[in-house]
Amino acid sequence: MSETIFTKIIKREIPADILFEDDDILAFRDINPQAPTHVLIIPKAEIATVNDIQPDQAELVGRLILTAQLIARQEGIADDGYRLVVNCNQHGCQEVFHLHLHLIGGKQLRGMSK
Ligand code: 5GP
């Protein structure tokens, strides 16, 4: 897949407000937050969409969710609750073609739009 803006963030070629990093995962605040907490959790591996996840990446994908759990606690929103979203391709309104989990919370969210 071609390099996206998120690869530039991983390589520190552009700045981001990074909250978590390990060998495989990076989490940083969304530049256009939709709620008081809006964090993007990404694998460092260049996986374009949900459709491109391979079976041997199942553990990595699970760890993206565990990272969201950790950050939700750090942000103090775990008990009140939050939303995890992964957009895929055109109908899912995916804009950046590097797999990412949105962690959104810190206020009462509305029901999912259809
Ligand atoms: P998508 O629509 O692909 O699921 O979400 C992409 C997200 O990436 C959007 O919420 C958008 O605000 C965020 N985003 C796009 N470019 C940048 C950037 O350069 N830095 C950060 N931190 N977030 C970005």
- The CATH number for 73's domain is 3.30.428.10
| Residue 111 resides in a domain | no
pLDDT band at 1 (very low <50, low <70, confident <90, very high): low
- Nearest-angstrom CA–CA distance, 55 and 106: 33
| Residue 43 resides in a domain | yes
List the residue whose alpha carbon is closest to atom 18 of ligand 1: 31
Contact indicator for 29, 19 with CB cutoff of 8 Å = yes
- Nearest-angstrom CA–CA distance, 114 and 56: 32
Residue 22 has pLDDT above 90, yes or no: yes
Q: Residue 21: enclosing H or E segment and its boundaries?
A: strand 18-21
Confidence at residue 112, expressed as pLDDT on a 0 to 100 scale: 85
Total domain count, the chain: 1
Atom of ligand 1 nearest to the CA of 29: 22
| Residue 110 resides in a domain | no
C-alpha of residue 113 to centroid of ligand 1, in Å? 20
- Nearest-angstrom CA–CA distance, 19 and 108: 23
The domain of 101 spans: 5-105
C-alpha of residue 114 to centroid of ligand 1, in Å? 21
| Residue 114 resides in a domain | no
Does residue 93 come out as left (phi exceeding 0), alpha (psi in the -120 to 50 range) or beta?
Answer: left
| Residue 90 resides in a domain | yes
C-alpha of residue 12 to centroid of ligand 1, in Å? 16
Q: What is the pTM of this model?
A: 0.97
Kindly report, residue by residue over 30-63, the tens digit of the pLDDT. 999 999 999 999 999 999 999 999 999 999 999 9
